[in-house]
Amino acid sequence: MSLSIHLRHDLPDLRLDLSFDAPSGVTVLFGRSGSGKTTVVNAVAGLLRPQTGRVAIDGWELFDTQKNRWLPPHRRRLGYIFQEGRLFPHMTVRQNLYYGRWFAPKRARRENPDKVIEMLGIGHLLDRRPAGLSGGEKQRVAIGRALLASPRLILADEPLAALDDARKAEILPYFERLRDEVSVPILYVTHSAAEVARLATSVVALQDGKAVRHGPASEVMADPSIAPAGVRAVGAVLNVRVREHHADGLTELEAGGARLFLPRIPHQAGEGLRIRIPAQEVILSNKRPEGLSALNVLEGVVETIRAGEGPGAIVSVKTPAGPILARITRRSVAALGLEPGQTCFAVIKTVALAPQDVGGRLTAP
């Protein structure tokens, strides 16, 4: 499945003009407040009629202004999670959740409502009405409502912004599952680099209504120049395989022959997954470090050194596990005498690999 979007639309203060084809999976729209993300999503949903453009899911045209084709919103089979919830105030939470199911074709793949409700932790709210719910509760119901509509495309406009970290960590895997197992394409708006790294198959960086950067997540996220995420979002994405769970609560991973430890993850031994290693979490050393608390040390060869903004530089190190990015100060580059071709050691703290940086099964972008 793929998503093809061409849009051109003038708003009073903003000219939207973008065009991209996204592969199956999660396409993240990334950009500053006011850059036009919601507007793009609305155009895909059919809530905004762009002046010119075409949107197609896997060849199925939602609209094409040239051919004068226009599917009304209710025929598009979407699950739109709105930035502001938009729950139906006169219905209970249960009725909100089941609303889309009335209209889904009988043969459509159906989520198991009980599972969704449990995952979102809203079982105790089912008979309440939206008005009394907290901000986060509302947003969880909105997510559930969209998921249960058996959509062919999920539009998620900052779905997790109102949620606490623990809840985020619970819900993120669900989006991964949607991406990996059910292959519903997802157009996902977020500000969070962690969410991008974890979910994105491809990333479209928006700025003033234009797509300034577009590509596979691993590429875009390795590029310090993308404005919205900032240099702190840069990181490498490694394909790894779970080798063993240790008794002291660590999980051992295997990546291209190298070993990596991180706090216990729920995945099974043998399972493949991808992890993001934020560049700023990586320390480089020019000799094998000893007596350090950090358990992960990867030997490699410096490939490139890019001076980033400010006092920092991004050093790319080729290791058996894959390329690792490290963000260090230029002063350290000088002090360690780093230059391309030189051998060095990347030190990664075990606990620095945050759960939100560990994704589900990897699908090739």
> What residues line the site for Mg ion (CB under 5 A)?
38, 83, 134-135
For 248, residues 6+ apart whose C-beta sits below 8 A from its C-beta are none
Contacting ligand ATP (CB under 6 A), which of 24, 27, 39, 296? 39
Residue type, 219: E
Give the type of residue at 35: S
Q: CB-wise, 110 or 232, nearer to another protein?
A: 110
CB atoms within 10 A of CB 320: 11
Collapse the DSSP code of 77 into the 3-class scheme (helix H, G, I; strand E, B; otherwise coil) and give the result: coil
Binders of ligand ATP: how many residues, by CB under 6 A?
19
185 binds another protein, rule: CB under 8 A: no
Q: Which residue matches tokens 């985020």?
A: 168
Which member of 26, 44, 81, 133 binds ligand ATP (CB under 6 A)? 133
Q: Does 96 bind its own copies (CB under 8 A)?
A: no
Window of 141-149, 170-178, 215-223, 356-364 that interacts with another protein by CB under 8 A:
141-149
User: What are the residues facing 236 on neighbouring strands?
Assistant: 277
CA of residue 196 relative to chain centroid, distance? 3
The answer to whether 253 touches 240, Cβ cutoff 8 Å, is yes
Interacting span for another protein (CB under 8 A) from 23-31, 72-80, 212-220, 317-325: 72-80
Considering CB distances under 5 to 8 angstroms, the limit depending on partner class, which of ligand ATP, another protein, Mg ion, none binds residue 12?
ligand ATP
Question: To which residue do tokens 């240790």 refer?
Answer: 246
Q: Does residue 336 interact with its own copies by CB under 8 A?
A: yes
- Tell me the closest approach of the beta carbon of residue 106 to its own copies, in angstroms: 34
Say which residue the tokens 């394409």 belong to. Answer: 185
Residues in contact with another protein, total (CB under 8 A)?
A: 31
Q: Using the rule CB under 8 A, give the single segment among 11-19, 80-88, 184-192, 275-283 that binds another protein.
A: 80-88
For 90-234, strand residue ranges (E) read 153-157, 186-190, 202-207, 210-216
Report the distance separating Cα 191 and Cα 162, nearest Å.
12
Amino acid at 197: A
Q: Measured between alpha carbons, how far is residue 355 from residues 141, 166, 243, 286 in Å?
A: 24, 10, 18, 29
The reply on whether position 36 binds ligand ATP by CB under 6 A is yes
Q: Is 136 in the site for ligand ATP (CB under 6 A)?
A: yes
Q: Is 96 helix (H, G, I), strand (E, B) or coil?
A: helix
Task: Report the residue from 77, 179, 214, 274 that binds another protein according to the rule CB under 8 A.
Answer: 77
**Residue 164 per-residue DSSP state:** -
Per-residue tokens: 320: 């058996």
Which residues in the 274-333 window bind its own copies by CB under 8 A?
A: 280-281, 283-287, 289-295, 310-312, 326-333
Q: Which of 86, 177, 191, 330 binds another protein (CB under 8 A)?
A: 86
In whole angstroms, give the CA distance from residue 303 to residue 16: 38
Per CB under 8 A, 46 contacts another protein: yes
- Determine which residue in the list 8, 86, 101, 167 makes contact with its own copies, applying CB under 8 A: 167
Q: Which of 24, 27, 38, 96 binds ligand ATP (CB under 6 A)?
A: 38
Q: How far is the CB of 103 from another protein (least distance, A)?
A: 3
Q: Which residue is nearest to Mg ion (CB)?
A: 38
CA 255 to chain centre: 22
| Strand 26-31 with 186-190, pairing | parallel
Question: Binding to its own copies (CB under 8 A): which residues in 17-56?
Answer: 31-34, 37-38
Task: Give the one entry of its own copies, Mg ion, another protein, none that residue 45 binds, where binding means its C-beta sits below a cut-off of 5 to 8 angstroms depending on kind.
Answer: another protein
* Alpha-carbon gap, residue 303 to 225, rounded angstroms: 19
Stretch that binds ligand ATP, among 133-141, 172-180, 239-247, 299-307 (CB under 6 A): 133-141
Residues with Cβ within 8 Å of 89's Cβ and at least 6 positions away in sequence, in order, are: 129, 130, 131
Question: Contact positions toward ligand ATP, by CB under 6 A?
Answer: 11-14, 31, 33-39, 83, 132-137
Residues of the shown chain interacting with another protein in the complex, contacts defined by CB under 8 A: 45-47, 72-74, 76-80, 82, 84, 86, 88-91, 99-100, 102-104, 129-132, 145-146, 149, 155
